[in-house]
Amino acid sequence: MTASKYEIDVEDVEYLRHGDKPLLARVFKPRGQGPFPLVVQLHGGAWFRGDRTSDTVMNEPLAKSGVVVAALDFRQPPEAGYPASMLDINYAVRWFKANAKRFNARADRVALKGSSSGAHQAMLAAMRPEDGRYASIKLPAGSPAVDARVQAVVLCWPVIDPLGRYQYAKKLKEGGKPYPDVVDRVLPGHDQYWVTEANMTEGNPVMALERGERVEMPPAIYIQGDKDQAHPRPQLDRFVTAYRKAGGQLDLELLEGEAEGFINKSPKAAARTIERIIEFVHKQLG
């Protein structure tokens, strides 16, 4: 499945504008008859770093397997915190569905994919496609009637419990040095994006399930290294347990011996990750 079946074209398109600032998506489009399934990709970076180019290492091979991949820019601090990015993401899913023919994509076979903070946002967007806040930006007049529901979600080392990760990182820092350098990389993003622990509780996929919130639960794959210090294992276990208990289908891929950032450091683990993503996406989206 990982063999490159297609040549691809890559273009940046404006999908939304706030004032005079355009939001761009980098679209990886297979050359072929199509129409192809569509994956909307959300970059990581602790909610305040990164852009649409951050995950090209995964997006290119996925597109070459026969999938249109739309990697988004979205609002992030210091421009805006939660829930601004969620509005942009919800809109983007609807916009790409409404414009699917332009990209030779299928509006009925769509997945969200993200890494780290982007995977958190992918899961939250998939769970709450009709949240009144997230869906508040209307499509242009005359657009097809589409919603932000997706048929699958790909979670690459998600910050699945923002409050839990914040408290974990703070505790490590309060214990004094030496502590993992990841702590200083992630804490500013929590403070700038979420502002309050109440927001981290509300916009929290694990806690939404544990609260019994009525959410959408598309089939998901959860990929993470088992030595990852940036994404605490107990939070992964809580989410996997809660998702499955609530009736959701979830595949778990734990990569033995791999820490955070392996996608850019460990060729073997990166190849396995990309292979599993391609396999899952084609299985779920056809």
pLDDT, residue 1, reads: 43
Residue 2 falls within a domain, yes or no?
A: no
Please classify residue 193 by burial: count the beta carbons closer than 10 Å to its beta carbon, then call 0-12 exposed, 13-18 middle and 19+ buried: buried
Residue 3 falls within a domain, yes or no?
A: no
Number of domains the chain is built from: 1
CB atoms within 10 A of CB 212: 8
Pairing of strands 105-115, 68-72: unpaired
Report the predicted TM-score, pTM, of the whole model to 2 decimal places. 0.96
Mean pLDDT of 9-15: 98
Q: Which domain holds residue 93?
A: 8-285
CB atoms within 10 A of CB 271: 12
pLDDT, residue 177, reads: 87
Residue 102 falls within a domain, yes or no?
A: yes
> In angstroms, rounded to a whole number, what is the distance separating the alpha carbons of residues 95 and 89?
10
Which of 6-10, 129-133, 176-180, 225-229 has the least mean pLDDT?
176-180
Q: What is the pLDDT of residues 23-80, one digit of tens each?
A: 999 999 999 999 999 999 999 999 999 999 999 999 999 999 999 999 999 999 999 9
212 pLDDT above the threshold of 90:
yes
Percent of the chain residues topping a pLDDT of 70: 99
- Phi and psi angles of residue 158, each rounded to the nearest 5 degrees, phi first: -75, 150
CATH code at position 96: 3.40.50.1820
Residue 265 falls within a domain, yes or no?
A: yes
The CA-CA-CA angle for residues 284, 209, 270, to 5°, reads 45
